Amino acid sequence: MTAVVCLPTYNERENLERMVAALADKGVSVLVIDDNSPDGTGRLADRLAAQNGHVRVLHRARKEGLGPAYLAGFRRALEDPESQLVLEMDADFSHDPDDVPRLIAAAQDADLVLGSRYVAGGSIGSWGIVRRFVSAGGSWYARVLLGVGVRDLTGGFKCFRREVLEALDLEAIDSRGYAFQIETTYRALRAGFRVAEIPITFVDREHGGSKMSPSIVLEAIWKVPLLRLRALAGRL
């Protein structure tokens, strides 16, 4: 199946070229979505696209968070009728490019595949206690409040069948950070799609800085009950 890996970048100059190279033999095309990174990642992406047939670039004017970047990427990916699978992946090597074929294979039997840190066989590498708590606590909080069985709701290594993205009301999604990951998976579940989790090992970034911020965590805290209320009101 034809797969597009959406790779959002903000100041990922030290990671992008290696990531593009690592994805070259995975049988996927790559769509870099750069939010005008001050470090020149966008220019690097253009050069890589000129050199590699499997790479395209979507430039956006400014940083608005992961959610809007992915939504723009999804729309672009879906414009090509050949794209049957659309993946989300971090550009910082926290997600192992060698796991991409496993996600794609699992999409044979599921509509949305999640690379999961919190199922048997999944793990987190070198994160400190605070990041672990925020991540595990966030997934637990969302799972309980939303009443779903998914273990890793905040992860960003995902593979959507095109039908899922076509069915979701992308216009209505306004989450920016972790909440975006929770919201897309929850909407897919609500729409009756089959969601599968496969174990991954998540490793901390080695190069570049984190874009994680308190506002990203706060957004998820208030957004989760709002999502549940909207669902209960039949508006999701």
Ligand X SMILES: Nc1nc2c(ncn2[C@@H]2O[C@H](COP(=O)(O)OP(=O)(O)OP(=O)(O)O)[C@@H](O)[C@H]2O)c(=O)[nH]1
Query: Does residue number 88 form part of the binding site for ligand X (CB under 6 A)?
Result: no
Nearer to Mg ion by Cβ, of 9 and 94: the residue is 94
User: Considering CB distances under 5 to 8 angstroms, the limit depending on partner class, which of Mg ion, ligand X, none binds residue 63?
Assistant: ligand X
Find where tokens 């899922």 sit: 164
Instruction: Quote the least distance from Cβ 92 to Mg ion, whole Å.
Output: 4
Distance, in Å, from the CA atom of 231 to the CA atom of 45, rounded to the nearest integer, reads: 39
Q: Out of 43, 63, 102, 230, name the contact with ligand X by CB under 6 A.
A: 63
Smallest gap, in angstroms, from Cβ of residue 178 to Mg ion?
12
According to DSSP, the residues that pair with 160 across neighbouring strands are 86, 112
**DSSP-derived pairing of the beta strands 123-124 and 201-202:** parallel
The stretch among 84-92, 115-123, 177-185, 192-200 that binds Mg ion (CB under 5 A) is 84-92
Task: Compute the Cα dihedral for 82, 26, 208, 170 and give only its sign.
Answer: positive
What part of residues 186-205 is at the interface with ligand X (CB under 6 A)?
A: 205
Contacts for 12 with CB less than 8 Å, ≥ 6 apart: 19, 37, 39, 41, 91, 92, 208
Where on the chain is the footprint of ligand X (CB under 6 A)?
A: 8-10, 12, 33-35, 63-66, 69, 90-92, 94, 205, 210-212
